[in-house]
Structure formats: structure tokens, C-alpha cells
Structure 1
């Protein structure tokens, strides 16, 4: 079944450079990590009333993550966030993993 309005299927994986313990203490390497964003399709972003750079909230009953949107060519009703990056610790914060249905909403009070 398709996710209902206000929800999306969570896609997530670890970035090459993230909060991994093997990078602890190497500020120069950490400084090259990609910034954390929430990737949405154009249709999903439009449904939420958000655009590139606007904040979006991804949440479950356990917690929420707020990240800027990056509109990306991808399936509708899917949200991708990095699994273990600064500002996005999916398993710890949301208690969810890839394939989970999560709540999504604009974080800008629109």
C-alpha cells in the first residue's frame, strides 16, 4: 500500500564520511563530509509546501529529525536522510530503518 498523506517510506544509508568512530579526532577529514539533507521528489516536496533549502521534519513516535530539503529525482512518497551524520542519527533518534514509514511535514511553519 502507498503511504498516506503526511508520511513517506524512509530510505537511508551511511555516508562515506559521517559520525563513525574511525573518524573521531580528525577535524580535517570530518570537514569534507557532505552536509546532511532530506532528499524528496519534486512532487513530495510540493505536497509538503517545501522547496530546496526549506526545513522538513522527519519523525516517528520516538523522535524527530529536521533537515534542509534537497529536491532530487527519486520516487514519490520516499524521503532519504543520511543514517549517521551530524544532525541525522536515524536509528538512535527515530528508532527506524530503511523501509519504515515515517511522518514528514514542513519545518517552516508553512
Structure 2
């Protein structure tokens, strides 16, 4: 059950952070805002991952902005990963069908 819920919580946290930064206008270095995710461990981990992936950039201590090019690259990477998984699944299903 937790294995099904955690990806949803991660996606929700990521979406909420992106929406929050966009609504505050933090979409360029000169418009960076103070940002500190709440104390929930998933939010902290998602925020750290977004920084590591270049989606969120720290321009000064505690001040961040959304790197929209980084966000686009992140989404493209997720689409490629999804397509790869679907392709592998299709090959496996084909092999199973051919063998059975």
C-alpha cells in the first residue's frame, strides 16, 4: 500500500512547490524568494532533489527561484523513462505471448 502512496505524495509535493514558486513570481534569479519547505520529510527530500536536478536554484542563502528550463528537462527525462518502461513491458509481454 505504501509503495502506491509514496509516488503520489512525491508528485503532489513537487507540484505544490513549483506552483508556490511560480505564484510568488520566483522564475528568475533576480526574483528569487525566501523558501523553506515545511518540516515534512517528503517535502524536504523532494526540495533537495529539485535542487540537485537544477529545477530549483539557490541564488543566495535561503533564496530560491524556479529554473523553468530545468523543470522542462526534468519532465522530458520522466517522459523518456516512461517510454522506456512501456517499451520494455511491451517486449516482455510479446515474449510471454509468443512462448505461451
More strand by share: 1
- The structure number with the bigger radius of gyration is 2
Please report the TM-score for the alignment, with normalisation by the length of structure 2. 0.31
